[in-house]
Chain A
Amino acid sequence: MVENRPLVTYLSHGILLAGILVVAFPLWMAFVASTYPPEAFNTGVLPLWPGDHFWENYSTALSAGLQAAGGVPVGLMMLNSTVMALAIAIGKIAISLLSAYAVVYFRFPGRMLCFWTIFVTLMLPVEVRILPTFEVVADLGMLNSYAGLSIPLIASATATFLFRQFFLTVPDELVEAARIDGAGPLRFFKDVLMPLSRTNIAALFVILFIYGWNQYLWPLLITTEESFYTVVMGIQRMVAVPDSEPQWHVVMATAILAMIPPVFVVIAMQRLFVRGLVETEK
Protein backbone atom coordinates (compact mmCIF):
# COMPACT_ATOMS: atom_id res chain seq x y z
CA MET A 1 0.00 0.00 0.00
CA VAL A 2 1.04 3.56 -0.54
CA GLU A 3 1.15 4.52 3.12
CA ASN A 4 1.20 2.76 6.43
CA ARG A 5 -2.08 3.21 8.25
CA PRO A 6 -2.50 0.26 10.59
CA LEU A 7 -5.98 1.36 11.61
CA VAL A 8 -7.27 1.29 8.03
CA THR A 9 -5.65 -2.10 7.50
CA TYR A 10 -7.34 -3.53 10.59
CA LEU A 11 -10.62 -2.08 9.40
CA SER A 12 -10.14 -3.76 6.00
CA HIS A 13 -9.52 -7.11 7.62
CA GLY A 14 -12.55 -6.59 9.85
CA ILE A 15 -14.85 -5.82 6.93
CA LEU A 16 -13.55 -8.78 4.93
CA LEU A 17 -14.03 -11.16 7.86
CA ALA A 18 -17.54 -9.82 8.41
CA GLY A 19 -18.23 -10.25 4.70
CA ILE A 20 -17.04 -13.83 4.72
CA LEU A 21 -19.25 -14.59 7.73
CA VAL A 22 -22.32 -13.01 6.13
CA VAL A 23 -21.69 -14.84 2.87
CA ALA A 24 -21.15 -18.17 4.61
CA PHE A 25 -23.97 -17.86 7.13
CA PRO A 26 -26.78 -19.33 4.95
CA LEU A 27 -24.53 -22.28 4.17
CA TRP A 28 -23.77 -22.85 7.84
CA MET A 29 -27.45 -22.77 8.79
CA ALA A 30 -28.25 -25.23 6.00
CA PHE A 31 -25.57 -27.53 7.34
CA VAL A 32 -26.91 -27.17 10.88
CA ALA A 33 -30.44 -27.94 9.70
CA SER A 34 -29.20 -31.06 7.94
CA THR A 35 -27.87 -32.53 11.20
CA TYR A 36 -31.06 -32.55 13.28
CA PRO A 37 -33.79 -35.18 13.56
CA PRO A 38 -37.17 -34.24 12.03
CA GLU A 39 -38.74 -33.50 15.44
CA ALA A 40 -36.29 -30.64 16.02
CA PHE A 41 -38.15 -28.57 13.45
CA ASN A 42 -41.41 -28.60 15.39
CA THR A 43 -40.06 -26.95 18.48
CA GLY A 44 -39.16 -23.53 17.20
CA VAL A 45 -36.08 -21.71 16.02
CA LEU A 46 -33.11 -23.77 14.89
CA PRO A 47 -30.04 -23.66 17.10
CA LEU A 48 -26.76 -22.30 15.74
CA TRP A 49 -24.79 -25.46 16.50
CA PRO A 50 -25.08 -28.79 14.60
CA GLY A 51 -26.97 -31.72 16.06
CA ASP A 52 -26.09 -35.40 16.09
CA HIS A 53 -28.08 -36.78 13.16
CA PHE A 54 -25.49 -36.10 10.49
CA TRP A 55 -25.01 -39.69 9.34
CA GLU A 56 -28.67 -40.67 9.57
CA ASN A 57 -29.87 -37.72 7.50
CA TYR A 58 -27.20 -37.92 4.84
CA SER A 59 -27.47 -41.65 4.39
CA THR A 60 -31.28 -41.39 4.18
CA ALA A 61 -30.97 -38.68 1.56
CA LEU A 62 -28.32 -40.44 -0.46
CA SER A 63 -29.87 -43.88 -0.51
CA ALA A 64 -33.62 -43.34 -0.13
CA GLY A 65 -34.48 -39.72 -0.82
CA LEU A 66 -37.78 -38.31 0.36
CA GLN A 67 -40.81 -40.62 0.15
CA ALA A 68 -43.29 -37.78 -0.29
CA ALA A 69 -41.31 -36.43 -3.25
CA GLY A 70 -41.25 -39.71 -5.16
CA GLY A 71 -38.54 -41.34 -3.08
CA VAL A 72 -35.73 -40.72 -5.56
CA PRO A 73 -32.37 -41.40 -3.90
CA VAL A 74 -30.17 -38.31 -4.01
CA GLY A 75 -27.31 -40.55 -5.11
CA LEU A 76 -29.19 -41.26 -8.34
CA MET A 77 -30.02 -37.59 -8.84
CA MET A 78 -26.39 -36.67 -8.41
CA LEU A 79 -25.44 -39.26 -10.98
CA ASN A 80 -27.96 -37.73 -13.40
CA SER A 81 -26.60 -34.27 -12.69
CA THR A 82 -23.07 -35.46 -13.33
CA VAL A 83 -24.03 -37.05 -16.64
CA MET A 84 -25.88 -33.91 -17.71
CA ALA A 85 -23.14 -31.51 -16.61
CA LEU A 86 -20.41 -33.54 -18.31
CA ALA A 87 -22.45 -33.96 -21.49
CA ILE A 88 -23.15 -30.23 -21.67
CA ALA A 89 -19.56 -29.20 -20.92
CA ILE A 90 -17.91 -31.70 -23.27
CA GLY A 91 -20.54 -31.30 -25.98
CA LYS A 92 -20.32 -27.51 -25.97
CA ILE A 93 -16.56 -27.53 -26.09
CA ALA A 94 -16.45 -30.10 -28.90
CA ILE A 95 -18.93 -28.47 -31.24
CA SER A 96 -17.60 -24.98 -30.50
CA LEU A 97 -14.02 -26.00 -31.26
CA LEU A 98 -15.09 -27.47 -34.58
CA SER A 99 -17.24 -24.56 -35.65
CA ALA A 100 -14.72 -21.94 -34.54
CA TYR A 101 -12.06 -23.79 -36.49
CA ALA A 102 -14.24 -23.80 -39.60
CA VAL A 103 -15.04 -20.09 -39.30
CA VAL A 104 -11.45 -18.99 -38.71
CA TYR A 105 -9.39 -21.29 -40.90
CA PHE A 106 -11.55 -21.66 -44.00
CA ARG A 107 -13.06 -19.35 -46.60
CA PHE A 108 -16.30 -20.69 -48.01
CA PRO A 109 -19.59 -19.32 -49.29
CA GLY A 110 -22.04 -18.62 -46.48
CA ARG A 111 -19.33 -18.22 -43.84
CA MET A 112 -20.70 -15.01 -42.38
CA LEU A 113 -24.25 -16.35 -42.46
CA CYS A 114 -23.16 -19.34 -40.37
CA PHE A 115 -21.31 -17.04 -38.03
CA TRP A 116 -24.35 -14.84 -37.45
CA THR A 117 -26.68 -17.79 -37.02
CA ILE A 118 -24.47 -18.93 -34.15
CA PHE A 119 -24.12 -15.40 -32.81
CA VAL A 120 -27.90 -14.95 -32.53
CA THR A 121 -28.14 -17.71 -29.93
CA LEU A 122 -26.51 -15.32 -27.45
CA MET A 123 -29.79 -13.45 -27.44
CA LEU A 124 -32.10 -16.42 -26.94
CA PRO A 125 -31.73 -17.85 -23.42
CA VAL A 126 -33.84 -20.92 -22.68
CA GLU A 127 -36.09 -18.92 -20.42
CA VAL A 128 -37.53 -16.78 -23.21
CA ARG A 129 -38.37 -19.60 -25.61
CA ILE A 130 -39.49 -22.21 -23.11
CA LEU A 131 -42.74 -23.39 -24.65
CA PRO A 132 -41.71 -23.80 -28.30
CA THR A 133 -38.41 -25.45 -27.33
CA PHE A 134 -40.30 -27.84 -25.11
CA GLU A 135 -42.60 -28.69 -28.03
CA VAL A 136 -39.64 -29.39 -30.31
CA VAL A 137 -38.06 -31.71 -27.75
CA ALA A 138 -41.38 -33.44 -27.14
CA ASP A 139 -41.91 -33.95 -30.89
CA LEU A 140 -38.46 -35.46 -31.19
CA GLY A 141 -39.32 -37.91 -28.40
CA MET A 142 -36.48 -36.66 -26.23
CA LEU A 143 -38.44 -36.15 -23.00
CA ASN A 144 -37.04 -38.16 -20.10
CA SER A 145 -33.68 -38.91 -21.66
CA TYR A 146 -30.12 -37.77 -21.18
CA ALA A 147 -30.11 -36.53 -24.76
CA GLY A 148 -33.08 -34.30 -24.04
CA LEU A 149 -31.43 -33.01 -20.88
CA SER A 150 -28.20 -32.01 -22.57
CA ILE A 151 -28.38 -31.56 -26.36
CA PRO A 152 -30.73 -28.55 -26.45
CA LEU A 153 -28.36 -26.71 -24.08
CA ILE A 154 -25.21 -27.58 -25.99
CA ALA A 155 -25.21 -24.88 -28.67
CA SER A 156 -23.38 -21.89 -27.33
CA ALA A 157 -22.18 -18.74 -28.97
CA THR A 158 -19.96 -17.87 -26.01
CA ALA A 159 -17.72 -20.89 -26.36
CA THR A 160 -17.51 -20.49 -30.13
CA PHE A 161 -16.47 -16.87 -29.68
CA LEU A 162 -13.89 -17.69 -27.10
CA PHE A 163 -12.22 -20.21 -29.41
CA ARG A 164 -12.54 -17.90 -32.40
CA GLN A 165 -10.77 -15.12 -30.50
CA PHE A 166 -8.10 -17.52 -29.41
CA PHE A 167 -7.54 -19.03 -32.88
CA LEU A 168 -7.14 -15.54 -34.31
CA THR A 169 -4.16 -14.98 -32.01
CA VAL A 170 -2.40 -18.16 -33.16
CA PRO A 171 0.47 -17.12 -35.50
CA ASP A 172 -0.09 -17.74 -39.21
CA GLU A 173 3.42 -19.14 -39.49
CA LEU A 174 2.20 -22.30 -37.78
CA VAL A 175 -0.27 -22.95 -40.59
CA GLU A 176 2.40 -22.26 -43.20
CA ALA A 177 4.86 -24.56 -41.46
CA ALA A 178 2.24 -27.28 -41.19
CA ARG A 179 1.35 -26.95 -44.85
CA ILE A 180 4.99 -27.14 -45.91
CA ASP A 181 5.33 -30.27 -43.86
CA GLY A 182 2.38 -31.68 -45.75
CA ALA A 183 -0.20 -31.59 -42.96
CA GLY A 184 -3.84 -31.31 -43.99
CA PRO A 185 -6.47 -29.27 -42.11
CA LEU A 186 -7.49 -32.11 -39.81
CA ARG A 187 -3.90 -32.95 -38.95
CA PHE A 188 -3.20 -29.29 -38.18
CA PHE A 189 -6.28 -29.14 -35.95
CA LYS A 190 -5.36 -32.25 -34.05
CA ASP A 191 -1.59 -31.81 -33.68
CA VAL A 192 -1.13 -28.04 -33.50
CA LEU A 193 -4.33 -26.25 -32.56
CA MET A 194 -5.68 -28.63 -29.93
CA PRO A 195 -2.49 -28.76 -27.84
CA LEU A 196 -2.31 -24.95 -27.97
CA SER A 197 -5.91 -24.60 -26.77
CA ARG A 198 -5.49 -26.86 -23.76
CA THR A 199 -5.63 -24.16 -21.07
CA ASN A 200 -8.58 -22.46 -22.69
CA ILE A 201 -10.43 -25.73 -22.92
CA ALA A 202 -9.79 -26.48 -19.25
CA ALA A 203 -10.89 -23.02 -18.13
CA LEU A 204 -14.05 -23.25 -20.19
CA PHE A 205 -14.73 -26.73 -18.91
CA VAL A 206 -14.83 -25.48 -15.32
CA ILE A 207 -17.36 -22.78 -16.15
CA LEU A 208 -19.50 -25.05 -18.31
CA PHE A 209 -19.54 -27.85 -15.76
CA ILE A 210 -20.98 -25.46 -13.18
CA TYR A 211 -23.43 -24.11 -15.75
CA GLY A 212 -24.58 -27.61 -16.59
CA TRP A 213 -24.79 -28.81 -13.02
CA ASN A 214 -26.88 -25.80 -11.98
CA GLN A 215 -29.46 -26.10 -14.76
CA TYR A 216 -32.91 -25.87 -13.24
CA LEU A 217 -35.78 -24.89 -15.49
CA TRP A 218 -34.88 -27.20 -18.33
CA PRO A 219 -34.67 -30.47 -16.35
CA LEU A 220 -37.79 -29.42 -14.46
CA LEU A 221 -39.73 -29.28 -17.72
CA ILE A 222 -38.54 -32.31 -19.56
CA THR A 223 -38.21 -34.89 -16.80
CA THR A 224 -41.43 -36.40 -15.57
CA GLU A 225 -39.89 -39.76 -14.72
CA GLU A 226 -38.22 -39.75 -11.32
CA SER A 227 -35.25 -41.74 -12.57
CA PHE A 228 -34.12 -38.74 -14.64
CA TYR A 229 -34.41 -36.10 -11.91
CA THR A 230 -31.32 -33.98 -11.42
CA VAL A 231 -30.37 -32.90 -7.94
CA VAL A 232 -30.92 -29.16 -8.33
CA MET A 233 -34.48 -29.61 -9.58
CA GLY A 234 -35.05 -32.51 -7.19
CA ILE A 235 -34.73 -30.09 -4.28
CA GLN A 236 -37.67 -28.13 -5.60
CA ARG A 237 -39.72 -31.33 -5.76
CA MET A 238 -38.83 -31.96 -2.12
CA VAL A 239 -39.68 -28.44 -0.99
CA ALA A 240 -42.96 -28.28 -2.87
CA VAL A 241 -44.63 -31.27 -1.23
CA PRO A 242 -48.28 -30.26 -1.06
CA ASP A 243 -50.07 -29.71 2.26
CA SER A 244 -47.14 -30.12 4.59
CA GLU A 245 -44.05 -28.38 5.84
CA PRO A 246 -40.93 -29.41 3.94
CA GLN A 247 -38.86 -32.15 5.56
CA TRP A 248 -36.09 -29.68 6.27
CA HIS A 249 -33.52 -32.16 7.48
CA VAL A 250 -33.52 -34.15 4.22
CA VAL A 251 -34.03 -31.08 2.03
CA MET A 252 -31.00 -29.36 3.52
CA ALA A 253 -28.86 -32.49 3.37
CA THR A 254 -29.76 -32.65 -0.33
CA ALA A 255 -28.97 -28.96 -0.79
CA ILE A 256 -25.54 -29.44 0.76
CA LEU A 257 -24.90 -32.49 -1.41
CA ALA A 258 -26.01 -30.55 -4.49
CA MET A 259 -23.52 -27.78 -3.71
CA ILE A 260 -20.49 -29.96 -3.03
CA PRO A 261 -19.40 -30.83 -6.61
CA PRO A 262 -19.60 -27.32 -8.17
CA VAL A 263 -18.17 -25.58 -5.09
CA PHE A 264 -15.35 -28.10 -5.00
CA VAL A 265 -14.63 -27.44 -8.67
CA VAL A 266 -14.49 -23.66 -8.08
CA ILE A 267 -12.20 -23.89 -5.08
CA ALA A 268 -9.93 -26.65 -6.35
CA MET A 269 -9.51 -25.08 -9.79
CA GLN A 270 -9.67 -21.47 -8.76
CA ARG A 271 -7.12 -20.21 -11.25
CA LEU A 272 -8.81 -21.90 -14.19
CA PHE A 273 -12.21 -20.81 -12.93
CA VAL A 274 -11.26 -17.13 -12.74
CA ARG A 275 -9.65 -17.34 -16.15
CA GLY A 276 -12.70 -19.00 -17.66
CA LEU A 277 -15.03 -16.44 -16.12
CA VAL A 278 -13.07 -13.47 -17.42
CA GLU A 279 -12.49 -14.99 -20.87
CA THR A 280 -16.11 -15.89 -21.50
CA GLU A 281 -17.22 -12.34 -20.77
CA LYS A 282 -14.88 -10.68 -23.24
Chain B
Amino acid sequence: MEKRVVFRHAWLPYLLLLPQLAITLVFFIWPASQALYQSVLRQDPFGLRTAFVGLQNFERLFSDPTYLNSFQVTVVFSLAVAALSMGAALLFAVMADRVIRGAMAYKTLLIWPYAVAPAVAGVLWWLLFNPTIGFMAAVLDRLGYDWNHFVDGGDALLLVILASAWKQISYNFLFFLAGLQAIPRSLIEAAAIDGAGPARRFWTIVFPLLSPTTFFLLVVNVVYAFFDTFGVIHATTSGGPGQATTILVYKVFSDGFIGLNLGSSAAQSVVLMSIVIALTVIQFRYIERRVHY
Protein backbone atom coordinates (compact mmCIF):
# COMPACT_ATOMS: atom_id res chain seq x y z
CA MET B 1 0.00 0.00 0.00
CA GLU B 2 1.32 3.42 -0.93
CA LYS B 3 0.22 6.97 -0.33
CA ARG B 4 -1.31 8.76 -3.29
CA VAL B 5 -0.39 12.22 -2.04
CA VAL B 6 3.13 12.80 -0.79
CA PHE B 7 5.40 15.67 0.09
CA ARG B 8 8.34 16.65 -2.04
CA HIS B 9 11.58 17.58 -0.38
CA ALA B 10 15.20 17.04 -1.33
CA TRP B 11 16.82 16.30 2.00
CA LEU B 12 14.16 16.28 4.73
CA PRO B 13 13.28 12.55 4.47
CA TYR B 14 16.93 11.62 4.89
CA LEU B 15 17.19 13.82 7.93
CA LEU B 16 14.10 12.20 9.43
CA LEU B 17 15.50 8.73 8.83
CA LEU B 18 18.96 9.57 10.06
CA PRO B 19 18.60 8.76 13.79
CA GLN B 20 17.06 5.36 13.27
CA LEU B 21 19.37 4.41 10.41
CA ALA B 22 22.45 5.51 12.34
CA ILE B 23 21.53 3.46 15.39
CA THR B 24 20.54 0.48 13.26
CA LEU B 25 23.82 0.54 11.35
CA VAL B 26 26.07 1.08 14.37
CA PHE B 27 24.39 -1.25 16.86
CA PHE B 28 22.66 -3.85 14.67
CA ILE B 29 24.04 -4.27 11.17
CA TRP B 30 27.71 -3.71 11.98
CA PRO B 31 27.81 -6.07 15.03
CA ALA B 32 25.86 -8.70 13.13
CA SER B 33 28.30 -8.53 10.23
CA GLN B 34 31.15 -8.73 12.75
CA ALA B 35 29.61 -11.90 14.13
CA LEU B 36 29.43 -13.30 10.60
CA TYR B 37 33.06 -12.33 9.96
CA GLN B 38 34.39 -13.68 13.27
CA SER B 39 32.58 -16.94 12.74
CA VAL B 40 35.06 -17.80 9.98
CA LEU B 41 38.14 -16.79 11.99
CA ARG B 42 40.03 -18.42 14.80
CA GLN B 43 42.10 -16.62 17.43
CA ASP B 44 44.81 -18.20 19.49
CA PRO B 45 44.13 -18.17 23.25
CA PHE B 46 46.12 -14.97 23.80
CA GLY B 47 44.43 -13.07 21.01
CA LEU B 48 47.76 -12.50 19.24
CA ARG B 49 47.13 -14.23 15.96
CA THR B 50 43.95 -14.60 13.99
CA ALA B 51 43.59 -16.98 11.10
CA PHE B 52 40.92 -17.54 8.50
CA VAL B 53 39.52 -21.01 8.99
CA GLY B 54 36.50 -21.07 6.69
CA LEU B 55 33.63 -23.13 8.00
CA GLN B 56 35.77 -25.00 10.52
CA ASN B 57 34.13 -23.26 13.49
CA PHE B 58 30.77 -24.55 12.33
CA GLU B 59 32.13 -28.05 11.71
CA ARG B 60 33.58 -28.10 15.19
CA LEU B 61 30.37 -26.79 16.64
CA PHE B 62 28.23 -29.50 15.13
CA SER B 63 30.60 -32.25 16.18
CA ASP B 64 30.84 -30.87 19.71
CA PRO B 65 28.71 -33.01 22.03
CA THR B 66 28.11 -30.16 24.49
CA TYR B 67 26.70 -28.01 21.68
CA LEU B 68 24.47 -30.78 20.41
CA ASN B 69 23.35 -31.37 23.97
CA SER B 70 22.53 -27.69 24.30
CA PHE B 71 20.47 -27.94 21.11
CA GLN B 72 18.54 -30.81 22.60
CA VAL B 73 17.99 -28.97 25.88
CA THR B 74 16.72 -25.94 23.96
CA VAL B 75 14.23 -28.00 21.96
CA VAL B 76 12.87 -29.76 25.05
CA PHE B 77 12.81 -26.49 26.98
CA SER B 78 11.03 -24.41 24.35
CA LEU B 79 8.45 -27.07 23.49
CA ALA B 80 7.70 -27.62 27.18
CA VAL B 81 7.39 -23.89 27.85
CA ALA B 82 5.12 -23.40 24.83
CA ALA B 83 2.92 -26.41 25.63
CA LEU B 84 2.59 -25.62 29.32
CA SER B 85 1.89 -21.91 29.06
CA MET B 86 -0.39 -22.23 26.03
CA GLY B 87 -2.33 -25.10 27.60
CA ALA B 88 -2.91 -23.23 30.84
CA ALA B 89 -3.70 -19.99 29.02
CA LEU B 90 -6.21 -21.69 26.72
CA LEU B 91 -7.98 -23.27 29.68
CA PHE B 92 -8.23 -19.94 31.50
CA ALA B 93 -9.29 -18.09 28.35
CA VAL B 94 -12.10 -20.56 27.60
CA MET B 95 -13.34 -20.22 31.18
CA ALA B 96 -13.01 -16.43 31.18
CA ASP B 97 -14.91 -16.29 27.89
CA ARG B 98 -17.78 -18.23 29.51
CA VAL B 99 -18.27 -16.27 32.68
CA ILE B 100 -20.03 -12.93 32.72
CA ARG B 101 -19.75 -12.00 36.37
CA GLY B 102 -16.26 -10.81 37.35
CA ALA B 103 -14.77 -11.28 33.89
CA MET B 104 -12.82 -8.03 34.12
CA ALA B 105 -11.42 -8.85 37.56
CA TYR B 106 -10.26 -12.29 36.40
CA LYS B 107 -8.58 -10.72 33.41
CA THR B 108 -6.72 -8.16 35.53
CA LEU B 109 -5.58 -10.81 37.98
CA LEU B 110 -4.27 -13.04 35.22
CA ILE B 111 -2.37 -10.55 33.08
CA TRP B 112 -0.02 -8.96 35.59
CA PRO B 113 2.80 -11.54 35.29
CA TYR B 114 3.50 -10.13 31.83
CA ALA B 115 5.12 -7.18 33.57
CA VAL B 116 7.50 -9.31 35.64
CA ALA B 117 11.05 -9.44 34.28
CA PRO B 118 12.19 -12.95 33.31
CA ALA B 119 15.07 -12.74 35.76
CA VAL B 120 12.72 -11.80 38.60
CA ALA B 121 10.31 -14.59 37.62
CA GLY B 122 13.22 -17.01 37.83
CA VAL B 123 14.19 -15.80 41.29
CA LEU B 124 10.59 -16.13 42.57
CA TRP B 125 10.35 -19.75 41.48
CA TRP B 126 13.85 -20.42 42.72
CA LEU B 127 12.75 -19.43 46.22
CA LEU B 128 9.56 -21.46 45.95
CA PHE B 129 11.51 -24.61 45.11
CA ASN B 130 14.56 -23.97 47.29
CA PRO B 131 15.38 -27.39 48.79
CA THR B 132 15.70 -26.08 52.35
CA ILE B 133 13.26 -23.19 52.69
CA GLY B 134 11.00 -23.47 49.62
CA PHE B 135 7.35 -24.30 50.13
CA MET B 136 7.01 -26.45 47.02
CA ALA B 137 10.16 -28.41 47.81
CA ALA B 138 8.70 -29.15 51.24
CA VAL B 139 5.42 -30.30 49.69
CA LEU B 140 7.29 -32.56 47.28
CA ASP B 141 9.35 -33.90 50.18
CA ARG B 142 6.13 -34.77 52.02
CA LEU B 143 5.01 -36.63 48.90
CA GLY B 144 8.25 -38.59 48.93
CA TYR B 145 10.16 -36.76 46.20
CA ASP B 146 13.56 -35.39 47.08
CA TRP B 147 13.70 -32.17 45.05
CA ASN B 148 17.10 -30.61 44.56
CA HIS B 149 17.74 -28.44 41.53
CA PHE B 150 21.34 -27.84 42.60
CA VAL B 151 22.19 -31.48 41.95
CA ASP B 152 19.53 -32.95 39.72
CA GLY B 153 19.56 -31.68 36.11
CA GLY B 154 15.97 -32.74 35.49
CA ASP B 155 14.73 -30.78 38.50
CA ALA B 156 16.67 -27.72 37.38
CA LEU B 157 15.25 -27.92 33.86
CA LEU B 158 11.74 -28.31 35.22
CA LEU B 159 12.27 -25.29 37.44
CA VAL B 160 13.27 -22.98 34.60
CA ILE B 161 10.44 -24.37 32.44
CA LEU B 162 7.89 -23.58 35.15
CA ALA B 163 9.24 -20.08 35.73
CA SER B 164 9.35 -19.27 32.01
CA ALA B 165 5.90 -20.73 31.30
CA TRP B 166 4.41 -18.88 34.27
CA LYS B 167 5.53 -15.53 32.92
CA GLN B 168 4.15 -16.25 29.45
CA ILE B 169 0.65 -17.37 30.53
CA SER B 170 -0.71 -13.82 30.61
CA TYR B 171 0.40 -13.07 27.07
CA ASN B 172 -1.13 -16.25 25.68
CA PHE B 173 -4.27 -15.71 27.74
CA LEU B 174 -4.88 -12.28 26.20
CA PHE B 175 -4.47 -13.53 22.65
CA PHE B 176 -6.57 -16.64 23.19
CA LEU B 177 -9.30 -14.55 24.78
CA ALA B 178 -9.27 -12.14 21.84
CA GLY B 179 -9.40 -15.13 19.47
CA LEU B 180 -12.33 -16.67 21.33
CA GLN B 181 -14.28 -13.44 21.33
CA ALA B 182 -13.83 -13.16 17.57
CA ILE B 183 -15.66 -16.46 16.97
CA PRO B 184 -19.23 -15.74 15.80
CA ARG B 185 -21.79 -16.60 18.47
CA SER B 186 -24.18 -17.88 15.82
CA LEU B 187 -21.98 -20.89 15.07
CA ILE B 188 -21.92 -21.90 18.71
CA GLU B 189 -25.65 -21.33 19.10
CA ALA B 190 -26.38 -23.43 16.03
CA ALA B 191 -24.31 -26.28 17.46
CA ALA B 192 -26.09 -25.94 20.79
CA ILE B 193 -29.47 -26.21 19.06
CA ASP B 194 -28.24 -29.37 17.35
CA GLY B 195 -27.61 -30.75 20.82
CA ALA B 196 -23.82 -30.45 21.12
CA GLY B 197 -22.63 -29.95 24.71
CA PRO B 198 -19.91 -27.49 25.78
CA ALA B 199 -17.05 -29.98 25.44
CA ARG B 200 -18.11 -31.14 22.02
CA ARG B 201 -18.64 -27.57 20.83
CA PHE B 202 -15.16 -26.72 21.99
CA TRP B 203 -13.41 -29.53 20.16
CA THR B 204 -15.39 -29.43 16.92
CA ILE B 205 -15.95 -25.69 16.49
CA VAL B 206 -13.99 -23.45 18.82
CA PHE B 207 -10.64 -25.19 18.75
CA PRO B 208 -10.41 -25.48 14.94
CA LEU B 209 -11.43 -21.85 14.54
CA LEU B 210 -8.75 -20.85 17.03
CA SER B 211 -6.01 -22.57 15.06
CA PRO B 212 -4.63 -19.35 13.50
CA THR B 213 -4.21 -17.86 16.98
CA THR B 214 -2.72 -21.09 18.27
CA PHE B 215 -0.21 -21.25 15.47
CA PHE B 216 0.76 -17.63 15.86
CA LEU B 217 1.24 -18.10 19.60
CA LEU B 218 3.29 -21.23 19.05
CA VAL B 219 5.82 -19.26 17.01
CA VAL B 220 5.85 -16.37 19.49
CA ASN B 221 6.32 -18.76 22.41
CA VAL B 222 9.17 -20.60 20.75
CA VAL B 223 10.90 -17.30 20.02
CA TYR B 224 10.31 -16.28 23.64
CA ALA B 225 11.72 -19.56 24.96
CA PHE B 226 14.73 -19.33 22.66
CA PHE B 227 15.78 -15.79 23.51
CA ASP B 228 13.89 -14.00 26.25
CA THR B 229 14.37 -16.69 28.85
CA PHE B 230 18.06 -15.89 29.17
CA GLY B 231 17.32 -13.96 32.37
CA VAL B 232 15.42 -16.85 33.95
CA ILE B 233 18.38 -19.16 33.47
CA HIS B 234 21.19 -16.76 34.18
CA ALA B 235 19.67 -15.49 37.43
CA THR B 236 18.94 -18.98 38.78
CA THR B 237 20.69 -22.10 37.53
CA SER B 238 23.45 -20.45 35.43
CA GLY B 239 23.07 -23.24 32.90
CA GLY B 240 23.77 -25.96 35.44
CA PRO B 241 23.97 -28.38 37.06
CA GLY B 242 26.36 -29.75 34.47
CA GLN B 243 24.89 -28.52 31.20
CA ALA B 244 21.32 -29.43 32.08
CA THR B 245 19.81 -25.97 31.54
CA THR B 246 22.30 -24.51 29.05
CA ILE B 247 20.07 -23.34 26.23
CA LEU B 248 21.65 -22.02 23.02
CA VAL B 249 21.44 -18.35 23.96
CA TYR B 250 23.04 -19.05 27.30
CA LYS B 251 25.84 -20.93 25.58
CA VAL B 252 26.62 -18.03 23.22
CA PHE B 253 26.97 -15.86 26.29
CA SER B 254 29.00 -18.26 28.40
CA ASP B 255 31.37 -19.31 25.59
CA GLY B 256 31.89 -15.71 24.52
CA PHE B 257 32.11 -13.83 27.80
CA ILE B 258 33.27 -16.47 30.23
CA GLY B 259 35.10 -18.91 27.95
CA LEU B 260 36.37 -16.13 25.63
CA ASN B 261 36.11 -18.45 22.67
CA LEU B 262 35.30 -15.77 20.11
CA GLY B 263 35.20 -17.89 16.98
CA SER B 264 32.87 -20.46 18.47
CA SER B 265 30.65 -17.86 20.10
CA ALA B 266 30.37 -15.99 16.80
CA ALA B 267 29.53 -19.18 14.94
CA GLN B 268 26.83 -19.91 17.52
CA SER B 269 25.47 -16.39 17.05
CA VAL B 270 25.23 -17.03 13.33
CA VAL B 271 23.35 -20.29 13.91
CA LEU B 272 20.96 -18.47 16.24
CA MET B 273 20.45 -15.66 13.74
CA SER B 274 19.46 -18.18 11.09
CA ILE B 275 16.96 -19.69 13.53
CA VAL B 276 15.43 -16.25 14.22
CA ILE B 277 15.28 -15.47 10.52
CA ALA B 278 13.56 -18.81 9.85
CA LEU B 279 11.04 -18.20 12.63
CA THR B 280 10.37 -14.63 11.47
CA VAL B 281 9.80 -15.81 7.91
CA ILE B 282 7.39 -18.49 9.11
CA GLN B 283 5.53 -15.92 11.16
CA PHE B 284 5.28 -13.41 8.33
CA ARG B 285 4.20 -15.94 5.73
CA TYR B 286 1.57 -17.10 8.12
CA ILE B 287 0.36 -13.59 8.89
CA GLU B 288 0.12 -12.92 5.15
CA ARG B 289 -2.10 -15.95 4.90
CA ARG B 290 -4.29 -14.84 7.75
CA VAL B 291 -4.89 -11.51 6.06
CA HIS B 292 -6.25 -13.18 2.91
CA TYR B 293 -8.28 -15.76 4.81
Picked from B115, B231, B252, the residue with its CB within 8 Å of the CB of A210 is: B115
Segment at the A interface, from B48-56, B72-80, B122-130: B122-130
Q: Could you tell me the distance in whole angstroms from the C-beta of B123 to the nearest C-beta in chain A? A: 6
Residue in chain B with minimal CB distance to A114: B17
Contact for A20 among B106, B127, B256, CB less than 8 A = B106
A16:B99 contact, CB within 8 angstroms: yes
Q: Closest A-chain residue to B94, C-beta based?
A: A12
Contacts of A95 in B (CB 8 A): 19-20, 23
Q: Is the CB of A265 within 8 A of B23?
A: no
A214 interface neighbour in B30, B102, B117, Cβ under 8 Å: B117
> Interface code A1-29, partner B: CB below 8 Å = 1, 0 otherwise?
11101001100110110011001111101
Interface residues of B in 224-267 (CB under 8 A from A): 227, 230-231, 234-236, 238, 249, 252-253, 256-257, 262, 265-266
Task: Tell me the bound Cα distance from A8 to B189 in angstroms.
Answer: 16
Chain A residues near B169 (CB, 8 Å)? Answer: 23
Question: Least Cβ distance of B162 to chain A in Å?
Answer: 9
Q: Is the CB of A252 within 8 A of B127?
A: yes
Q: Are A255 and B257 in contact (CB under 8 A)?
A: no
Asked if B29 is an interface residue, CB under 8 A from chain A, the answer is yes
Chain A interface residue number, banded: 35 or more
Contact yes or no, B252 A127, CB < 8 A: yes
CB-nearest residue of chain A to B220: A281
Stretch at the interface among A57-65, A70-78, A116-124, A194-202: A116-124
- A217 CB contacts on chain B under 8 angstroms: 230-231, 234, 253
**Are B12 and A106 touching (Cβ within 8 A)?**
yes
Interface assignment of A84: CB less than 8 Å from any CB of chain B: no
Nearest-neighbor residue (CB-CB) of A264 within chain B: B115
Which of A29, A140, A172 is close to B135, meaning CB atoms less than 8 Å apart? A29
Task: Give which listed residue, A118, A140, A267, contacts B21 with CB less than 8 A.
Answer: A118
Report if B1 contacts A (CB, 8 A): yes
- Contact of B218 with A by CB under 8 A: no
| In the complex, per-residue mask of A125-139: 1 if CB is within 8 Å of any chain B CB, else 0 | 101111111011100
Q: How far is the CA of A236 from the CA of B133 in the complex (A)?
A: 19
Known A-B contacts A108-B13, A135-B34; the reply to A12 vs B95 at CB < 8 A is yes
Would you list 5 pairs from A and B whose C-beta atoms are within 8 A, ordered by A residue? A98-B16, A120-B29, A128-B227, A175-B5, A270-B108
**Other CB < 8 Å A-B pairs besides A23-B169, A240-B235, 17 of them?**
A13-B99, A16-B106, A29-B128, A30-B124, A117-B25, A130-B256, A131-B262, A132-B32, A155-B27, A168-B1, A214-B119, A221-B257, A235-B119, A239-B123, A240-B238, A259-B117, A263-B112
